[in-house]
Structures are given as C-alpha cells and as structure tokens.
Amino acid sequence: MPPPPKRLGAPWIELQQVDSTNNYATALVHAGRGAPGTAVFAREQTNGKGQRGKSWWADPGANITGSLILAPPALSLPRSFPFSMALALGAQRFFAAYAGTETSVKWPNDLYWRDRKAGGILVENILAGADWRCAVAGFGININQTDFGEAAGRAVSLKQITGKDWEVPALARELAGWVEAALDELGQDPQATVDAYHAVLFQRGEVVRLRKGGRVFAATVLGVTESGELRVRHAVEECFGVGEVEWVFTDRPSLRGGA
C-alpha cells in the first residue's frame, strides 16, 4: 500500500452534493483558489461528466466521485498520454489492492474487473494561451452500488466483488495516495509508466471486435501510443483516436460513461 498522499488532497474539499466535481474544481482554478493538489470529493453528483460529453450516474454516497487538480507533467501536451496512463495506473492499483489481479485498464482510461466496468477517469486540461496551466482529473469508481439497471451485465462494484460494505470517503483519500505514487513514478521514469500501463491493458494481445461507424471488424490489441491512440492489427496495423472506435461485446448491453 502506498504512503498517505503528501501533496494530493491538500486541501481536501468534501461536498454533500454538486453537479460535477470536475466543474467545481475547474471553477476553483479559474477563481484562483484551486492550487495543484486540491481534491474535491462529493457524496452525490447530480450531473456527473463522462467521456466525450456523456453523463456519469452514481447512487448518492455509494461510490467515489471526486476530482484532483494536478500540475502538468514535464511532457508536451500532444504527447502527454503517459500522464493519463499514470492516473489510470493509480486507480488500477488502488482497486486491485481489494479486488485482485483481474483488475485492468481499458483504453483509454476505464477501470475494468474481468470484463465489467468498475470506473472511469475524465481528464480535462486547463490552458492559458498555449501554456498547459493544470489538469483536472475526475474519478468515478464503483464501491458500494449494487443496482446498475440496464448496465447490470457490464458494470461491477467493489462490494459485488468482495461482499463487503466500504467507507467511501476513506477509500477516496486512499485513492489519492495511489495516484500520487503513480505520478511520482511517471516523473522518475516515463517509460516505466508506459510499460506498466501496457502490462494491465485490457485484452492486450487478444483478438477483439471493434466498431467504427457502421464497420465492425476483428483486430488484435497491440497497445496505446504516447498521443493516446489505440494500436491494433488486422490485415494491417491501424491507430485510432479516442472516440473513433468502440468495443463490441456479444450479447451484452452497452455501457457508456466515464468519470
């Protein structure tokens, strides 16, 4: 288990209800009151944000819904995906500490246990002109929720895996420690972060079915580039940006969303 966070979570802002922790954290930055290291945790989000404008819904008080304000890494923004890799690794290691080694990261940064989604991360960058001012990383991780409605076959929570109820605020603070440790590793050795991400990449080396528009095809997952593109091989090797393709799971309802 990593040490308690030294920089992330100082200050720690806990809210009973908010529309979106990412919105709240971004507003703090723009108001000059959101220094890197600030954490925003909410017991309930009324309009949580997912990838590519989708919504993220979670039962009040049952899950980790929070955001971290982070200083940008020493990477150029176009080749900054190792930063997202580090965030995903922190979440993966946190969840795996309780759920076990079947925890993985599905490109680009969804948290999976076996073939079910356990959470997601949404990173929003704040720029000042061409300068990367900071990043707001939102985490949505299923902890005690057990009813996922139409997504029941595709979502999973820590309680469903372990059979236990968990103290969500305490786990949120622990998550910050895992993320901080992963970011420290990134600063020391970016290639090690890339390698570690690929080691837990969902279905890497396996043949999967992907959909791009009306085209569905089978391809082998090779990895992810430093600019965040998914590398696959079928007749030829191709790379796809975030949102260009989606996994096709046979006989399972679609599960959309992020953090």
Please report, for the domain that includes residue 110, its CATH number.
Answer: 3.30.930.10
Look at phi and psi of residue 208 and say left if phi exceeds 0, alpha if psi is from -120 to 50, else beta: beta
pLDDT at 259: 35
Instruction: Give the pLDDT confidence score for residue 162 in this predicted structure.
Output: 98
Residue 252 located in a structural domain: no
Q: Predicted confidence band at 250 (pLDDT cuts at 50, 70, 90)?
A: low
Mean pLDDT of the residues in the chain: 90
- What is the structure's pLDDT at 2? 77
Domain assignment present for 257:
no
How many domains does the structure of the chain reveal? 2
pLDDT single digits (tens) 61-102: 999 999 999 999 988 888 999 999 999 999 999 999 999 999
In a domain, 6, yes or no: no
192 and 134 in one domain?
yes
Task: Calculate mean pLDDT across residues 32-40.
Answer: 96
The single-letter DSSP state of residue 199 is H
Phi, psi angle pair for 98, to nearest 5°: -110, -35
pLDDT band at 257 (very low <50, low <70, confident <90, very high): very low
Please indicate, yes or no, whether residues 58 and 157 belong to a single structural domain of this protein. yes
The answer on 213 and 194 residing in a single domain is: no
Domain extent for 85: 12-199
Residue identified by tokens 């989708």 is: 54
CA distance 32 to 169: 26
- Please classify residue 153 by burial: count the beta carbons closer than 10 Å to its beta carbon, then call 0-12 exposed, 13-18 middle and 19+ buried: middle
- State whether 21 and 98 are in the same domain: yes
pLDDT tens-digit profile of 183-200?
A: 999 999 999 999 999 999
Residues 85 and 213 in one domain: no
Residue 192 has which token pair? 């090690």
Partnered with residue 212 across adjacent β-strands are: 215
Residue 107 belongs to a domain: yes
Q: Exposed, middle or buried by CB within 10 Å (0-12, 13-18, 19+), for 237?
A: exposed
- Does residue 258 fall inside a structural domain? no
Return all residues near 17 (Cβ < 8 A) that are at least 6 apart: 42, 43, 44, 45, 46, 60
CA atoms within 13 A on the CB side of 28: 24
The model carries a pTM of: 0.91
pLDDT digits (tens, 9 = 90+) for 193-229: 999 999 999 999 999 999 998 889 999 999 999 999 9
